[in-house]
């Protein structure tokens, strides 16, 4: 049985994951509007991953006898200065999510909830990958000053990304 405090904290995290999906769709829409379809694809896939993350938590709450309670999702930013700014925002957002997952893990440890700790380990590992991915792309964008042939080449590279859901 999931404690009420963990149930509430995981519900809050579901909201954060769904907001992540929403902001990444907003970034994708902006990138499409300036002709960077590869980067648009990258963020559509990123949004799909965030939805998957939220649904894993949704199912976990139900499996542990809790109740999912969805809250309002804030309006995401929709105007950006450049792809560099977008990836800076995305990296900072992933760091925010990592901190939030860490706080969830701290609560599970405090409550000695081994099942929730085990469940959250996947998210801890996933966040290392998420931050690294955003940081790597941001570094490449900075190397090419977010312009020219380098930008188009990176856009093409990111267009090849696909969403492959892992087993829940």
- pLDDT score recorded for residue 166: 72
* pLDDT, tens only, 43-86: 999 999 999 999 999 999 999 999 999 999 999 999 999 999 99
Query: What local confidence, expressed as pLDDT, does residue 167 receive?
Result: 62
Q: Collapsing DSSP states into helix, strand and coil, what is residue 77?
A: coil
Which of 126, 138, 144, 143 minimizes the C-alpha distance to 20?
126
Structure confidence at residue 165 (pLDDT): 79
The three-state secondary structure class of 63 is: helix
Residue 167 lies in a domain: no
Q: Cα(first)–Cα(last) distance of the chain, in Å?
A: 19
Domain count, the chain: 1
Distance, in Å, from the CA atom of 31 to the CA atom of 69, rounded to the nearest integer, reads 32
- On whether residue 166 sits in a domain, the answer given is no
Structural domain span for residue 29? 4-158
Q: Flag whether 23 is in a domain.
A: yes
CATH number at residue 44: 1.20.1260.10
pLDDT digits (tens, 9 = 90+) for 96-137: 999 999 999 999 999 999 999 999 999 999 999 999 999 999
Please tell me the pTM assigned to this model.
0.94
């Amino acid at each position: 049985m999931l404690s009420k405090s963990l149930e509430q904290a995981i519900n809050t995290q579901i909201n954060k994951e769904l907001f992540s999906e929403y902001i990444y769709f907003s970034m994708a829409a902006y990138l499409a509007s300036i002709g960077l379809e590869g980067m648009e694809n990258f963020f559509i896939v990123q949004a799909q991953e965030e939805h998957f993350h939220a649904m894993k938590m949704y199912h976990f709450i139900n499996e542990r006898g809790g109740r999912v309670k969805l809250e309002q999702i804030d309006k995401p930013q929709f105007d950006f200065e450049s792809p560099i700014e977008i990836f800076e925002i995305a990296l900072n957002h992933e760091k925010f999510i990592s901190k939030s997952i860490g706080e969830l893990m701290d609560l599970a440890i405090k409550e000695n909830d081994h099942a929730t700790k085990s469940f959250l380990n996947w998210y801890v590992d996933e966040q290392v990958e998420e931050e690294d991915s955003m940081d790597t792309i941001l570094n490449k964008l900075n190397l090419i000053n977010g312009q020219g042939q380098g930008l188009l080449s990176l856009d093409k590279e990111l267009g090849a990304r696909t969403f492959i859901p892992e087993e829940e």
